Amino acid sequence: MTTEHETQPWVKLEEIIDSGNAEQLEAYLNSLAPGEAALALSRLDGVEQLKVLTTLEPQDAADLIDEIPDVQATALVDALSPERAAVILQNLDSDEQADVLGAIDAEHAEAVLAAMDPQEAAEARKLFSYAPDVAGGLMVTEYLSYPRTFTARNVIEDLRQKVDEYADYDVQYVFVVSQEEKLEGVLRLRDLVLTPSNTPVVDIMIPNPLSVKVDEPLDELGAFFDHHAFIGVPVVDEAGRLVGVVRRADVEDALGDRADSDYLKSQGIVGGEELRTMPLLLRSRRRLSWLSINIVLNVIAASVIAYFEETLAAVIALAVFLPIISDMSGCSGNQALAVSVRELALGFIRPNELLRVWLKEISVGLINGVALGILIALTAWVWKGNAYLGLVVGTALALNTMIAVSIGGLVPLVLKLVKQDPALASGPILTTVTDMCGFFFVLSFAQLMLPWLVGTS
C-alpha cells in the first residue's frame, strides 16, 4: 500500500479530505512535487475537489488556484459558492483575479464580485474590463508609488511601517509620481540603499522611465521584454497616470498560453482546451465540430477523383498513387507553413512580403519536387514496368510539391493580412487545395497519356 500511495497521490489525498484536517491537507499538498498537486486534484471527483478548496485556508486555496492549469482553476471556482470564491479570490494577485473572473460563468462572476470586499471588487472590475491580451488585462495593481516630494528616508520609513501589508508585493522597484499620479520616475531598491537617506527621490530616480499604454497588445509587450532586461514595466493610461505594472513573468505566461492554444487549434482541438477528465460528450462534441468541417472539405477534394473515374478504371494502378501524392504534398506544404509561421513570429518577414516568400519557396519546391518526382516515378516504373505511369505520377508530384510549398508558405501571411487565425485555418486550406490539385494533376495527365498507359500495363 505504501508504494501505491507514493505513485498515486490522489489516493492519499482522498483519505486526508475525508478526515477534513486543513493543516494536514495543506502540508500534504505542499509536500507534492510541482505539478503533482494538479494531477492529484484532477483525479478526484467534483465533490472531493470542492472539499479541498473549502477545507484549505483561503490563502492556501488561492496558492493552489494559482498553481493549477487555468482550465482546471476555472472549473473549480465555477463550482464554489460565491462567498467562498470571493474569500479565496481576494488572496490572488489582481491579474489572476481578473483572469479567473473573466473565465468563469458571467453570472457567477457577478455574484462573486458582489461578495468581495467592495474596494477589491472595484479593482477587479476595472482590470476585468480590459481585454485579457493587452497591458491592462495583464498588469497587476500591487505596486508602490511615492510622491516626487519624498526623500529616500520617507520611502524607507513607509516600507518599514507597512512591511506586513506589502508582504505580497513583488517589490523590486518603486515608482515616483506627480501630484496628478503621473509617472515621473523609477527608483531601484539598490539606489535607495546606497544613498544618504535625506536625498530627495527625484535625485536618485531614473527619470522619464519607459512605460507602456494600457492598450499595448501582448505581442508588443513580448517584444518589449525581449528588448529590455526588465522584470516589469509600468503601465500608464491615456493621461500618463500610473495604473499598474506588467511583469515579465505574466507576459511570458500569456505568450506561452497562446502558443499552447495555437498548437491545440492547429491539431483540431477547437473551442477550448480538452482534458480527459472532462465529460465524454463535451470532448466528443468539440472534436466532432472540427471533424465535420474537414469531412466536407475532404469530400470536395475527392470529388476531383470521381470526375476522372473512367480514367482511373482504365489504369487502376493510379489509385495506389493518389494517397501518396496527397500525403507527400501535405508534408511539403507543412514544412513551408512552419517556416512562415516561424519567420512571422521572429519578425523576419512581414505579412505583405508575399512575392519574396513565394520566390524563396518555389525554388525549394522546384528542387524537392523534381527529386521526389523522380523517386516516385522510378518506384512506379519498377513496380508496373511502365515508364509512362512513372512519368505521369512523377510529373504530378513534382508540380504539386511546388503548389504545396507555395500555398504552405503564403497561407499564414495571407491569413495574417486579412486578420484571420492562422492556427485554425492554415491546415484545412492547405490540405484541401493541395489534394484537389494533386488529384487533378495525376488524373488529367493520365487521361492525356491514356493510350500509352493502358498499352502495356
Q: Scanning residues 191 to 230, which ones bind a copy of itself (CB under 8 A)?
A: 192-194, 223-224, 226-227, 229
Interaction between residue 419 and a copy of itself (CB under 8 A): no
Amino acid at 15: E
Stretch of 77-85, 236-244, 274-282, 413-421 lying at the interface with a copy of itself (CB under 8 A): 274-282
**DSSP state letters, 141-195:** S---EEETT-BHHHHHHHHHHTTTGGGGS--SEEEEE-TT-BEEEEEEHHHHHHS
Interaction between residue 11 and a copy of itself (CB under 8 A): no
Binding residues for a copy of itself restricted to 381-400, rule: CB under 8 A: 383
Binding residues for a copy of itself restricted to 143-162, rule: CB under 8 A: 156, 159-160
Interaction between residue 260 and a copy of itself (CB under 8 A): yes
**In whole angstroms, how far apart are CA 330 and each of 172, 307, 325, 406?**
50, 22, 8, 12
Selected binder of a copy of itself within 349, 411, 429, 433 (CB under 8 A): 349
Grouping H, G, I as helix, E, B as strand and the rest as coil, residue 134 is strand
Q: Minimum Å distance from CB 449 to a copy of itself?
A: 18
Q: Minimum Å distance from CB 123 to a copy of itself?
A: 20
Grouping H, G, I as helix, E, B as strand and the rest as coil, residue 43 is coil
Selected binder of a copy of itself within 129, 149, 303, 456 (CB under 8 A): 303
Interaction between residue 141 and a copy of itself (CB under 8 A): no
Q: Which residue has the cell 522510378?
A: 378
Interaction between residue 267 and a copy of itself (CB under 8 A): yes
Q: Minimum Å distance from CB 420 to a copy of itself?
A: 19
Q: Which residue has the cell 498588469?
A: 139
Contact 235/182 with Cβ under 8 angstroms?
Answer: no
Interaction between residue 3 and a copy of itself (CB under 8 A): no
Buried b / exposed e over 9-23, threshold 16 CB at 10 Å, is bbebbbebbeeeeee
Nearer to a copy of itself, 40 or 121 (CB): 40
- Number of helices (H), then strands (E), belonging to the chain: the values are 24, 7
Contact 422/369 with Cβ under 8 angstroms?
Answer: no
Interaction between residue 272 and a copy of itself (CB under 8 A): no
Selected binder of a copy of itself within 81, 145, 294, 447 (CB under 8 A): 294
Interaction between residue 172 and a copy of itself (CB under 8 A): yes
